[in-house]
């Protein structure tokens, strides 16, 4: 029997779920895996006294150093999130010879290479399954389940809040603002949902996936083109549906000819693709692997027990891996595996969806198509959705494949037209 003595820092939603699982399944884990998980100390600044009292003989503190300095504690579970003091906690725990289990995507995506090097030096492991897709085992799949595959592309619906908002807008024909309020009422969105709806949460998760799948450490702010969903309307989802498409906020990474493109943005995909059927708070990652082929992982990407499940499995796997001898986990690799160059968003080529609000007058369409043509962009289809002599009307276009730089140049010229009354909506398309 391998005994792991645990110190948990952060008794929020996920932390409470982890504690519940440790208590409820202690005997089951002992019998099935030969691992005894013993929670010794909990650290939280604002813990619930009634909940802690129900745990019996568990120490409680408001100072995380009490856990870091406890020689009996083998594993520190970091669940406070954010950069600081989470980074200092993880570094301090490694320096004290303790293993780490964390759900912190921000720390792993921004400081992973540094932390993995520290873990190697200390002969310790960092487990972080819950950093992406909560309890869905995408990290374990990449590093162990299908280890040895090359990954040419990955496409992820990795933010449950945004997926829920887009699903509600499309299925129930409500506005973005209404969908956000509904997500908040159901606990799927924070009071301030900015990090979700602006795409940054997805960017952090994409950086973690690219580290593991493609061996490249990504600078989240510098390397990942990030665009959120705040400009998407229910009309865009309706128009997409009419064309046999749907809109998803995708985290995308593609590797080809020594270059890698990494981007997060709303994306048009075919309604027949499996990712199109991933709705609500569910998350998914579509992997293009060699030699295995295409793989789809789907599951709940948020919620107390979904996230707690990933942390719990990390603890079990850590116990199994270390029953006989301390081993550094395969995911903790501080070395870049390939010399990949980041491909600038300006050089990416894709098809585009354009929605323009224009004055309904003769010659307007020819002006717009003329600007697009001069910039090397050809039109695949055009739809004018209404006719009105007074107000502006929506003009919806799909283009053939064009360069991002060409599209951005054309948009500057189109926005300058007096017949265009609002900022154009542009959505990129992917054929998966």
What is the secondary structure of 288-299 as a DSSP string?
EEETTEEEEEEE
Q: What is the pLDDT of residue 328?
A: 67
> Does residue 205 have an active-site annotation?
yes
The C-alpha atoms of residue 292 and residue 341 are separated, in whole angstroms, by 25
Residue 206: is its pLDDT beyond 80?
yes
Q: What is the pLDDT of residue 391?
A: 75
Domain with CATH 3.30.70.260 in the chain: 349-429
pLDDT band at 261 (very low <50, low <70, confident <90, very high): very high
Residues 307, 312, 318, 320: what is their CA dihedral angle, to the nearest 10 degrees? -140
pLDDT band at 20 (very low <50, low <70, confident <90, very high): very high
Counting other chains too, the contacts that 274-280 makes at CB distance below 8 Å and 24 or more residues apart are: 275/155, 275/157, 275/248, 275/250, 275/432, 276/246, 276/248, 278/157, 278/163, 278/248, 279/163, 279/167, 279/171, 280/160, 280/163, 280/164, 280/167
Domain with CATH 3.30.360.10 in the chain: 139-302
Contact 157, 325 (CB under 8 A): no
pLDDT band at 135 (very low <50, low <70, confident <90, very high): confident
pLDDT top residue among 308 and 303: 308
CATH C-level class of 349-429: alpha beta
**First vs last C-alpha separation in the chain:** 47
Residue 322: is its pLDDT beyond 70?
no
Q: What is the pLDDT of residues 333-383, one digit of tens each?
A: 888 877 899 999 999 999 999 999 998 888 999 999 999 999 999 999 998
Task: Please tell me which residue in 205, 248, 254, 343 is annotated as part of the active site.
Answer: 205
Residue 269: is its pLDDT beyond 70?
yes
CATH code for the part of the protein at 2-132+304-321: 3.40.50.720
Q: What is the pLDDT of residue 66?
A: 98
**What percent of the chain has a predicted confidence (pLDDT) above 90?**
85
The mean per-residue pLDDT over the stretch 232-261 comes to: 96
Residues 140, 193, 352, 280: what is their CA dihedral angle, to the nearest 10 degrees? 60
Residue 142: is its pLDDT beyond 70?
yes
Nearest to 249 by CA among 231, 223, 272: 231
The mean per-residue pLDDT over the stretch 8-27 comes to: 96
**What pairs with residue 77 in β-bridges?**
8, 101
Radius of gyration (C-alpha) of the chain in whole angstroms: 24
pLDDT band at 390 (very low <50, low <70, confident <90, very high): low
The C-alpha atoms of residue 223 and residue 427 are separated, in whole angstroms, by 20
Q: How many residues does the chain have?
A: 432
CATH of 139-302, one of 3.30.360.10, 3.40.50.720, 2.120.10.10, 3.40.50.460: 3.30.360.10
pLDDT band at 386 (very low <50, low <70, confident <90, very high): low
CA distances from 110 to 90, 141, 216, 310, 339 (A): 13, 22, 12, 21, 19
Residue 388: is its pLDDT beyond 70?
no
Contact 254, 153 (CB under 8 A): yes
The C-alpha atoms of residue 373 and residue 365 are separated, in whole angstroms, by 12
Q: What is the pLDDT of residues 207-216, one digit of tens each?
A: 999 999 999 9
Domain with CATH 3.40.50.720 in the chain: 2-132+304-321
Contact 358, 364 (CB under 8 A): yes
The mean per-residue pLDDT over the stretch 302-312 comes to: 91
Q: What is the pLDDT of residue 117?
A: 95
Residue showing tokens 């924070």: 190
Residue 323: is its pLDDT beyond 70?
no
């Amino acid at each position: 029997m391998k005994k792991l003595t645990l110190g948990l820092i952060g008794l929020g939603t996920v932390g409470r779920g982890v504690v519940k699982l440790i208590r409820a399944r202690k005997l089951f884990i002992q019998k099935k895996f030969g691992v005894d998980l013993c929670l010794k100390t909990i650290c939280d600044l604002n813990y619930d006294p009634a909940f802690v009292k129900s745990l019996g003989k568990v120490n409680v503190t408001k100072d995380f150093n009490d856990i870091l300095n406890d020689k009996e504690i083998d594993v520190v579970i970091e669940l406070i999130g954010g950069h600081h003091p989470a980074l200092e906690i993880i570094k301090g725990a490694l320096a004290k010879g303790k293993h780490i289990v964390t759900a912190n995507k921000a720390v792993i995506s921004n400081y992973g290479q540094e932390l993995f090097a520290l873990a190697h030096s200390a002969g310790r492991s960092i487990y972080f399954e819950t950093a992406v897709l909560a309890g869905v085992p995408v990290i374990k799949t990449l590093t162990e389940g299908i280890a040895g595959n090359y990954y040419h592309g990955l496409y992820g619906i990795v933010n449950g809040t945004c997926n829920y908002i887009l699903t509600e807008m499309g299925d129930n024909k409500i506005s973005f603002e209404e969908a956000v309020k509904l997500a908040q009422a159901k606990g799927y969105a924070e009071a301030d949902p900015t990090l979700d709806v602006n795409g940054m949460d997805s960017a952090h998760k994409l950086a973690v996936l690219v580290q593991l799948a493609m061996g490249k450490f990504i600078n989240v702010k510098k390397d990942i083109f990030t665009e959120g969903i705040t400009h998407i309307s229910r009309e865009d989802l309706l128009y997409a549906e009419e064309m046999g498409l749907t809109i998803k906020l995708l985290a995308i990474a593609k590797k080809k000819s020594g270059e890698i493109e990494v981007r997060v943005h709303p994306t048009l995909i075919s309604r027949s693709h499996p990712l199109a059927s991933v709705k609500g708070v569910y998350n998914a990652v579509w992997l293009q692997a060699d030699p295995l082929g295409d793989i789809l992982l789907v599951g709940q990407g948020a919620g107390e027990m979904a996230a707690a499940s990933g942390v719990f499995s990390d603890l079990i796997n850590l116990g199994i891996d270390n029953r006989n001898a301390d081993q550094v986990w395969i995911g903790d690799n501080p070395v870049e595996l390939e010399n990949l160059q980041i491909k600038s968003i300006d050089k990416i080529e894709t098809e585009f969806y354009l929605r323009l609000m224009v004055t309904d007058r003769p010659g307007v369409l020819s002006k717009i198509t003329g600007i697009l043509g001069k910039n090397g962009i050809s039109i695949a289809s055009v739809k004018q959705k209404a006719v009105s002599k007074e107000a502006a009307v929506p003009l919806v276009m799909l283009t053939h494949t064009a360069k991002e730089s060409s599209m951005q140049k054309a948009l500057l010229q189109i926005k300058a037209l007096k017949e265009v009354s609002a900022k154009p909506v542009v959505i990129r398309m992917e054929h998966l």
